[in-house]
Amino acid sequence: MKLRRDVFQALADPTRRAILLMVASQSMTAGAIAASFQVARPTISKHLAILQECSLLSSNKDGREIFYYVNAAKMKEVDDFLTPFRKMWEARFDQLEAVMKNYQKNQLENQANDQTQIQQGNRPSE
């Protein structure tokens, strides 16, 4: 797997992530992308250049317009790299959920036992 560090640096920036989300569904020009942000167009152009340098975005020239679109193969490569981590964390969260449910069940049982003890005139165990 040839994931370079710059792919993750590119993904670390919230503006670049927003750009990727925008062009994921349809290709867009730099002007159309820039219109969605409160920053200068040259700033968006720099973000587009970074995304292209690490192959997350590709472009296609149509006359005078350049349309940017997500490079699906590169995104799949990133997803393939992250999948084992996602699975590991999902398993850990599932384990944590099981522990918390068991803890909650025990707490409810202890409260019920304490209530029974109080009703019988006994002091609840600590």
**Please, are residues 79 and 73 in contact by the beta-carbon 8 Å criterion?**
no
- Does residue 97 lie in a domain region? yes
Mark whether 17 and 39 lie in a shared domain.
yes
Query: What is the rounded CA–CA span in Å between residue 98 and residue 104?
Result: 10
Claim to verify: residue 124 and residue 94 sit in the same structural domain: yes
Report the predicted TM-score, pTM, of the whole model to 2 decimal places.
0.69
Closest CA to 71 of 46, 50, 86, 54: 54
Tell me the per-residue pLDDT of 87-107, one tens digit each, with 9 for 90 and over: 999 989 989 999 999 989 888
39 φ, ψ to 5°?
-130, 165
Q: Are residues 55 and 92 in the same domain?
A: no
pLDDT in tens, 69-86: 999 999 999 999 999 999
- pLDDT class for 30, splitting at 50, 70, 90? very high
Is residue 88 domain-resident? Answer: yes
Say how many domains are in the chain.
2
Please state, in angstroms and rounded to a whole number, the distance separating the CA atoms of residues 124 and 126. 6
Question: Percentage of the chain surpassing pLDDT 90?
Answer: 73
20: pLDDT confidence band, cut at 50, 70 and 90?
Answer: very high
40 lies in which domain range? 5-70
Shared domain check, 105 and 60:
no
Model confidence at 2, pLDDT cuts 50, 70, 90, reads: low
Side-by-side strand order, sheet with 28-29: 28-29, 65-70, 57-62
78 assigned to some structural domain: no
Same domain, 65 and 98: no
Instruction: List the CATH number of the domain containing 9.
Output: 1.10.10.10
Q: Do 57 and 16 share a domain, yes or no?
A: yes
